[in-house]
Chain A
Amino acid sequence: MQFIPTLQLDVMNEIGNMGAGHAATALSLLMGRKVDMAVPETKFLSIEAGCAELSREGEVGVGVEVGLSGSIDGLTLLTVDEDGALHLLLAFGDMLAGQGLDDALAQSALMEIGNIVTGSFLTAITDFLGESSYALPPRFIHDYFDAFVCNVVVAGCRNVDGLLVFKTELKVDDRCVSSDLAFLPSQEAFGLIMNKILSAGGMS
C-alpha cells in the first residue's frame, strides 16, 4: 500500500476543509437552512482498513457514489446513517418531510447532496492541483453498510491499495448528521496528488 506522510495528510485535511466549506454554503442555499460542515480528520487507509472505517457493523445506511472523470479520476462515496438521511430530507421542507428512503424523489434529493459534496471537495482538490475534473451522475444505495461499502471500495480502488477518508462533521440546523466521505483516486490521479503535495511541502 502507498503511504502518505503526516504533513501531506495535513495538507489533504486542509483541502478537505475547503471542500467542506464550499459544500456547506451550497447545501445551505439549496435547503434554505443553516448548514455547517468540517473535516476534523483525514485518514489514508488500505482497502480493508478503509472498509472497516466506513462500515458500521449491522447498521443500515445510505451511500451516494459518484464517479470522477478527467485528470483526477476515480470515485467518491458519501455515507450517511439512516437517521441522518431522514434528517436531511426533513431539511428540504414539506415536499420531502416524512418520505421514506425508498421514495424516488427522496433518493434523488440525497443523490443531489452527494453531488454537491463531491463537487465541492473535487473543486477544492483540482483548484489546489491546477487540474480539471468533473463528477459523473451519482448512484444511490440503501443497504447494510458493510455490504455496500466494501463493494464500492473494491470496485473503485482498481489498482491503488488505498483511499482517503474525510471524517466529516455535517450539521443541519445545529443537528449532527453522521457522515463520511471516501475518495478513491486512480493510480494516475494518486500520483498527481502526491507529486503536488510533496512539492508543496518542499519534499520533491
Chain B
Amino acid sequence: MECPVGIGEFRVAAAPGILVTRGLGSCVGVILYDADVRLGGLAHIMLPNSRDFLSFNNPYKFADLAIPAIIAEMRTRGARMLKARLVGGARMFANGVTRAGFDIGDRNAVQAKLMLGALAVPVVGEDLGGSVGRTVLLDIALGRVTVRTVGHGAKIL
C-alpha cells in the first residue's frame, strides 16, 4: 500500500508499506530507515531554516524542525540504528538568471545534513542537485529506496 507524504509533511510507518513523495524540485526528501525493526520514515522538506521566518503555521516544512521531530518519533517507536538517504535539492532554473535565494535546493540539502549529523544519523546515500524533478519511494519491508526522475527512469538508491 502506497502512503503519500505531502509537501511539508512527514510520516513514519512500519512494514509492510510504501512511503512516497512526489515532485521534489528544490525540496529535499529525507528518508530514514531502521533495518532491525523495519521502521521507515519520510519527510518532505521545503525550506532550510524556520529562523528565517517571523511566523509560520506548520513547523514540518523546515529542515531544522522536521528532522528532529521525525527522528524523535522513530526512536520512540523503537528505532535504534537509523540510516538516512537524501533526495532532491535541485535547482530548477539551471539556465536562468540566478537571483539571491534561488539556491534553496542546495541550502535544504546542507541544512538536512547538519541536522542529521547533530542527531548522529549517518547519511548512507544521496541523489541531490541537478535540475530535475524527482519522486521517491521507500519500500519499508525491503528497505529499498527508489528514485524516479523525469526523463531518466528509475533507480535504486
Contact = CB atoms under 8 A, between A and B. Distances in A.
Interface of A: 1-2, 46-48, 51-52, 55, 57-58, 67, 137, 139, 141, 143-148, 150-152, 154-156, 158-161, 187
B5 to A, nearest CB: 12
Interface of B: 6-8, 22-27, 46-47, 52-58, 61, 90-93, 96-97, 99, 101-102, 104-105, 132-133, 150
B46 A154 contact: yes
Contacts of A55: 23
Nearest to A139: B96
A51 B27 CA distance: 11
Q: Which of A55, A151, A154 has the most CB of B within 10 A?
A: A154
17 contacts: A1-B56, A47-B47, A139-B93, A139-B96, A146-B23, A147-B23, A147-B24, A147-B90, A150-B23, A150-B26, A151-B25, A151-B90, A154-B46, A154-B47, A155-B26, A159-B54, A161-B55
Main secondary structure of the interface of B (DSSP, over half): loop
Contacts of A137: 97
A184 to B, nearest CB: 11
B101 to A, nearest CB: 5
A167 B72 CA distance: 40
Contacts of A141: 92-93, 96
Contacts of B102: 151, 155
A24 B12 CA distance: 48
A110 to B, nearest CB: 14
Q: Which of A143, A144, A145, A150 has the most CB of B within 10 A?
A: A150
A73 to B, nearest CB: 12
Contact of A51 (B7, B92, B93, B97): B7
B92 A154 contact: no
B108 to A, nearest CB: 8
Contacts of B55: 1-2, 161
Contacts of B26: 150-151, 154-155
A158 B47 CA distance: 10
A158 B6 contact: no
Given A51-B7, A146-B25, A147-B23, A161 B92 contact: no
A144 B133 contact: yes
Q: Which of B58, B92, B104 has the most CB of A within 10 A?
A: B92
A93 B54 CA distance: 48
B62 to A, nearest CB: 10
A31 B46 CA distance: 39
A48 B96 contact: no
Contact of B52 (A147, A152, A158): A158
A139 B91 CA distance: 14
A147 B97 contact: no
Contacts of B97: 137, 139
Contacts of A146: 22-23, 25, 133
Contacts of B23: 55, 57, 144-147, 150
A141 B52 CA distance: 27
A53 to B, nearest CB: 11
Contacts of A159: 52-54
A109 B57 CA distance: 38
Contacts of A139: 93, 96-97
Contacts of A161: 53, 55-57
A112 B104 CA distance: 27
